[in-house]
Structure 1
C-alpha cells in the first residue's frame, strides 16, 4: 500500500504519548496534558517521559541536580561555537554543536544519563551563541535555578518573574513530545540502525530545522505584526485567505478540533496577562480568523494550534524571533531522547519500500 509521506501508517508502538485528534486530547504516559501543565514542573514531566512514571520528591531533586551539573559547556565546545560563521542560523549551530558531542561516551546503547546531558546543554548552547552574535558577555548558567528559569536567566541576564517562568514552562511542557512527528521519526530511524544517541538527536534537529515543522511561531508573529491593531484583523485575514495564503497558527494535521496545547497556553497567558495589548490582539485575531475560516471554508473546523499562543508567549518574554524554533528544540529534545530509548528496547531497523514509477527501458 502506498501512502504519500507515510501519512496514516503506524510505524511503531509506543508508551510515550497518545494524540486523539478527533477529541482534541494529548496524553503523556497516561496523563492528560492539562493536568501536567497545571501541577508539575518541566523536570517532573521530563522524568515521566524518560522513566514512564512521575518521580518522587527525592527523584526529582536528583534529576534537577543532574541537569544543573551538566549545564556548562566544555572549552572545546565553546571554541567550536565561537568559530562557526556568524551567518549560520541558530538551528544549524545547535545541529553542529550537538553532533560534536558524539564521543566514545555515546556508543550504543543509549541511556537516560545521555538524554539528561543533551537536554541540559541545549539552552546553554543557545544562550552562548546568542551572546556571541550580540557581542555581549556570556551569562554563565546557575545551578540554583530550575531548567526553564536558568534558560531565561542566561538569555536575559536577569532573574525572570515567576509569571514569566510559569508561562514559558507551560509552553515547554506542552512541546516536550508529540507522537511520531517528523523529527521524532528521524530520531527513531537513525536509532534503529543502532547508531548512537547523539547521531539520532542530530537527525532530529536537522528535521526540526525545516520551516514546515519547527518554524510556525515566527509566522504567527509576522501575521500579528502585519495586522497591528484589532480593526485591521478582518481585512488582512480575509485578503490572505482569498489569495490562497496559509494562515499561520491555525489548523493542525492531527487535531480536528481544538488543539489541547493551545487551550492550556491561552489559560496560562490569561493568568499572566499584561497591559501591553499583545494578548488582546491575539485573542481578537483568533475570533475573527475562526469566523472567516468557517465562512470561507465551511466544514473544515479550523482552530488555533499550539504555535498561535506560543507566539504570544515568546512575544511576552521578548524572545528574539530567531530563538523561537531553538526554544522549541530545547523542550522537544526530551521527547526525542525518550523515543530513542524506547526504540532501543525492542529494535527493528526501519526499512520502508519505495514504489518505482519510472520506465522499464529495453536493451542497451
Structure 2
C-alpha cells in the first residue's frame, strides 16, 4: 500500500460548502464566488449562506442579526474563569479554554447532533472573549458590546473603545469573509474528525482551535508586515525589493501551496484597497508594492508564476487598523469558526467516523519473520 504523507490529494469527504480550485484560481462558497461576496455582503449574510445554504432575505437577515446580538454577552461563569487567567496568557490558549468552559456551563440536552443555537452562540461570543482578554492584558477596562453595531464593527469597537472608521470596517469585513472557509484545511479536518465520533461541538471546536494555534496553519502574517514596514514608502519599494531578490531571499506574501495562479482572496482585497487607497496610506502602499514585486519576480524568477497571496493583503489590513500582531491569529479564528461549524453541521448530516490507515515501517519480531 502506497503511503501519502500529510494526506495530500486524499479525498476525505464530499462537501457542498466550498470549492478551492488552485489550478484555475477561484474560491466558491455554495455556488457564489467568495471574492464577489466579500465585496458586496456583510459578515452575517455570508455566515447565513454557509450555515443555511442560501443568502437571507431582508427579513431573515434582520432577525438573524438580532439573534446574533443576543449572544454577545459573556456569561457570568465564563467571565469568572477569564478573570482568573493570567493577563499574559496567550490568546489562542484563552480561546480554547473559554470554548471549553462554555461547553460546561451551557445546558446541552443533547450533545449529538450539534444544535444550531450553540453554533451561533459560540460564533457571536468569540469577538467579545478576544476583546475582553486583550483589554485586561493591557490594563484597560473591557468594553461592552454595542447592539447597534454589526459583527465586525462591534469587534473593533470592543478592542479600542471607539467607533471604528467605515473604511476599516469595510476592508476587515471583506478579509473576514474571505477567511471564513477554505475546504478541508487542518483545523476544519480536526473538528470533523472529533465530531465524527459523535462527540459534542465543544470538543470539536477545541480541536479546531488547537490546530489553528499551530504556526504552520494559523501563523500571523507578521513577516509581511515587517516587509511593508521596512519598505515604508512607494518610492523605496523597487530598490528594497531588488535588494531582497538579488540576495536570493524570498518575498513574503507571494506564492501559495494551493493556488498556482492568482489567489482570488488577494484579488478581492486588492480591488477593495484600490477603491479605498485615498482613505488610508497603507492600502495605497500595499497595492503599489504588489505591482512592483510581481514585475520583479517575473524578471528574477522567470517561469515560476509567483503571485501575491491573501497573507500579503491580510497584513496590510491588520496594519491599517492598527491590530496588534498578537491578535492576528485570534482574529482569523473568529472568522474561520463559521466555516468550522458549517462543516460540523454537514458532518453530522452524513456522519461516518474517520478511520484512515497507516503504513507500518518499523521492525517485525523474529517469530513473524521466520514463519513459513
- Normalised to the residue count of structure 2, the TM-score between the two structures is 0.92
Given that 2:220 and 2:325 are in contact with CA atoms closer than 8 Å, whether structure 1 keeps it comes out as no
Partner of residue 300, structure 1 = 304
Q: What is the rounded CA distance, in whole Å, between the counterparts of 1:263 and 1:29 in structure 2?
A: 19
CA offset digits 1:128-147 (Å, max 9, x no partner): 00110111111100112111
Q: What is the rounded CA distance, in whole Å, between the counterparts of 1:86 and 1:245 in structure 2?
A: 38
Given that 1:216 and 1:249 are in contact with CA atoms closer than 8 Å, whether structure 2 keeps it comes out as no
Q: Secondary structure at the match of 1:324?
A: helix
Given that 2:277 and 2:284 are in contact with CA atoms closer than 8 Å, whether structure 1 keeps it comes out as no
CA offset digits 1:191-216 (Å, max 9, x no partner): 11111111111111111111111124
Aligned-residue offset at 1:361 = 3.8
Given that 2:39 and 2:272 are in contact with CA atoms closer than 8 Å, whether structure 1 keeps it comes out as no
Q: What is the rounded CA distance, in whole Å, between the counterparts of 1:192 and 1:246 in structure 2?
A: 40
Partner of residue 101, structure 1 = 102
254, 257, 273: which one aligns with 1:253: 257
Aligned-residue offset at 1:274 = 4.2
Given the superposition, is the C-alpha separation of residues 356 and 238 from structure 1 closer, same or farther in structure 2, using an over 3 Å criterion? farther
1:56 aligns with 2:68: no
Given the superposition, is the C-alpha separation of residues 57 and 245 from structure 1 closer, same or farther in structure 2, using an over 3 Å criterion? same
Partner of residue 176, structure 2 = 172
1:153 aligns with 2:157: yes
Partner of residue 289, structure 1 = 293
Aligned ranges 1:179-190 → 2 under 5 Å: 179-190=183-194
Aligned ranges 1:1-364 → 2 under 5 Å: 1-103=2-104, 104-105=107-108, 107-230=111-234, 232-234=236-238, 236-237=240-241, 240=244, 245-274=249-278, 277-362=281-366
Stretches of structure 2 lacking an aligned partner (at least 5 in a row): none
Q: Secondary structure at the match of 2:221?
A: helix
Q: What is the rounded CA distance, in whole Å, between the counterparts of 1:244 and 1:62 in structure 2?
A: 55
Given that 2:278 and 2:284 are in contact with CA atoms closer than 8 Å, whether structure 1 keeps it comes out as no
Given that 1:187 and 1:201 are in contact with CA atoms closer than 8 Å, whether structure 2 keeps it comes out as yes
Aligned-residue offset at 1:341 = 0.5
Aligned-residue offset at 1:253 = 1.3
Q: What is the rounded CA distance, in whole Å, between the counterparts of 2:275 and 2:93 in structure 1?
A: 35
Given that 2:283 and 2:317 are in contact with CA atoms closer than 8 Å, whether structure 1 keeps it comes out as no
Q: What is the rounded CA distance, in whole Å, between the counterparts of 2:217 and 2:92 in structure 1?
A: 13
Q: What is the rounded CA distance, in whole Å, between the counterparts of 2:248 and 2:326 in structure 1?
A: 26
Q: What is the rounded CA distance, in whole Å, between the counterparts of 2:4 and 2:246 in structure 1?
A: 30
Stretches of structure 1 lacking an aligned partner (at least 5 in a row): none
Q: What is the rounded CA distance, in whole Å, between the counterparts of 2:248 and 2:92 in structure 1?
A: 29
Aligned-residue offset at 1:4 = 1.5
Given that 2:38 and 2:177 are in contact with CA atoms closer than 8 Å, whether structure 1 keeps it comes out as yes
Q: What is the rounded CA distance, in whole Å, between the counterparts of 2:272 and 2:160 in structure 1?
A: 21
Q: What is the rounded CA distance, in whole Å, between the counterparts of 1:258 and 1:16 in structure 2?
A: 22
Q: Secondary structure at the match of 2:28?
A: strand
- The worse-fitting range, judged by mean Cα deviation, of 96-105 and 9-18 is 96-105
Q: Secondary structure at the match of 1:100?
A: helix
Superposed CA RMSD: 2.0
Q: What is the rounded CA distance, in whole Å, between the counterparts of 2:348 and 2:183 in structure 1?
A: 17
Given that 2:36 and 2:268 are in contact with CA atoms closer than 8 Å, whether structure 1 keeps it comes out as no
Q: What is the rounded CA distance, in whole Å, between the counterparts of 1:243 and 1:21 in structure 2?
A: 29
Q: What is the rounded CA distance, in whole Å, between the counterparts of 1:243 and 1:125 in structure 2?
A: 44
Given that 1:45 and 1:54 are in contact with CA atoms closer than 8 Å, whether structure 2 keeps it comes out as yes
Q: What is the rounded CA distance, in whole Å, between the counterparts of 2:75 and 2:248 in structure 1?
A: 49
Q: Secondary structure at the match of 2:366?
A: coil
Given that 2:15 and 2:346 are in contact with CA atoms closer than 8 Å, whether structure 1 keeps it comes out as yes
**Matched residue count:** 364
